[in-house]
Structure 1
């Protein structure tokens, strides 16, 4: 027997599995607990919504309708692969289903045919509604299928369940057809592969973009000036094929630096007095001298 995860643990599990989550206002306390118990929980149930459009679908699953009050699931998985959390606790998603199916889910063995409606599924299953018209023609984008896989695996992982604890509504309640458009055996295979695999390490952070020395002003470049900036400048000039150094470059401003920089100015198209070897802001910014 498994007690339901706390709302915080449920949210953390989804995010840890790499699910993109949107929290609708008040989802943690929106439920149908006044109508019956929630738990023990034994599995995850997947549905389709017979709706189109994110806003419409999320609103319906959150609020329900006159014949079936909301919430209608715990999470809505939209076409773009986002899971919108709309309720937590007992929700109106599973209805009455087959007790033999529940026993098979608990034992994690192959499912029998769902030919009875004698067991309260709202009590025992987490539910995800997936945005789809359910006509067998409406596509299931790869991002949405991946989100179904991840969301189900996240819950199974925390409860130490395997993929056989994930079922479709059509496997639970006689007469239901959802989710239509992909097979639940196929989806369980994906979930099983994810659960068996070693989670990928988090991506390494990208190194920050290298910063460049701001233009220090033309007066900076004079005889007697020593600076690591001048060395860095000289190295960039050499890298650009403009070095005119016999030895160096080094930290002291020299005639070799001036001649090298003049070569850089000519490379940029300057001539005459505009290529005198004394840096100006425009040519300096184009040289991209790294910070020392």
Structure 2
């Protein structure tokens, strides 16, 4: 159990997890206060929206509808991996669920099958709605799946929770099916909460990786030649989001080496959504190279290219 994070701490936890965040209006004070408890917090719940389109999905998750007032979650994760914050505090996202599942989440052990709806989940879980039609056909881009794991890991890290504190709506409330669907393309591997928790576990394990012992320094030989300054490869003309040529593989390798793209993402010639999201993370950490006035810049130019390669491979 934990006291809810402050809005600022929640925002910092997400950004610290490596996701791009958009703050929508007065999200910090938009909630269902007065309609039930908010806290203590026990975990993170993942949903799918059953909608398409960023603007319309964000709007309905912020405002709700006649049968269910908003906010319907705290953040909306779009297919490019950006988190849109729409509310904070009590939100209509989890509904009534199984008290045995809650007990398992608190104990961070394997979840039992959900067969009851007797416990208020809106008071106990942070909620993320992820844009997907929910028809088990609409694909989940790798950038979106990675953002789900990184957002959840950021909150778990802030509270000191493990990956077992992250659950799907289908694991909480009988009759729910979200999230579901193929990853990457129609017919791809299925998105499962086990897969998401495994990635969250990897991200949290990275926090505890032992430091590599430094070797004792040895005096350099007076006659040793000075190393040549590192020169990044020339920026390939025409490299742009959505294109296959020139190949985006060198860019992807540099993003991985610099820590802005998951090493588990398969390299491809296409400058696709996962590459765009990783470039945006690089730009958010190095604002001098992103387009003026943009908080999410998925395109890289010659200056950003040179800076990224020096960061990844420079000596």
Same fold (TM over 0.5): yes
Q: Give the C-alpha shift of residue 206 in structure 1.
A: 11
1:196 is displaced (CA, Å) by: 0.3
Q: Which residue of 1 aligns with 2:101?
A: 101
Matched, 1:62 2:71: no
1:123 aligns with 2:123: yes
Structure 1 portions without partners, runs of 5+: 209-292
**Distance of 1:111 and 1:163 partners within structure 2:** 12
The alpha carbon displacement at 1:207 in A equals 11
TM-score, normalization by structure 1: 0.69
Structure 2 CA distance for partners of 1:32 and 1:172, relative to 1, 3 Å: same
Listed as ranges, the gaps of 5+ residues in structure 2 are: 182-190, 210-257, 261-281, 290-315
Q: How big is the shift at 1:180?
A: 1.0
Q: 1:24 corresponds to which residue?
A: 24
Which one of the candidate residues 180, 194, 197 is aligned to 2:203? 194
Runs of 4+ off more than 4 Å? 199-208
CA RMSD of aligned residues (A): 2.0
Partner of 1:38: 38
Alignment correspondent of 2:172:
172
Please list the CA deviations of residues 200-255 of structure 1 after superposition, one character each: whole Å capped at 9, or x if unmatched.
Answer: 778797999xxxxxxxxxxxxxxxxxxxxxxxxxxxxxxxxxxxxxxxxxxxxxxx
Q: Determine which structure has more spread, i.e. the larger CA radius of gyration.
A: 1
Q: In structure 2, how many angstroms separate the alpha carbons of the residues matched to 1:56 and 1:206?
A: 29
Of Structure 1 and Structure 2, which has the larger fraction of its residues in helix?
1
Deviation digits for residues 147-182 of structure 1, max 9, x if unmatched?
101000000001000000000000000000000121
Partner SS state of residue 93, structure 2: coil
Q: Deviations over 1:73-113 (max 9, x none)?
A: 00000111100000000000000000000000000000001
Secondary structure of residue in 1 paired with 2:92: coil
How big is each residue's C-alpha offset from its partner over 1:22-74, in whole Å with a ceiling of 9 and x where there is no partner?
A: 00001000000110110000000000000000001000000000000000000
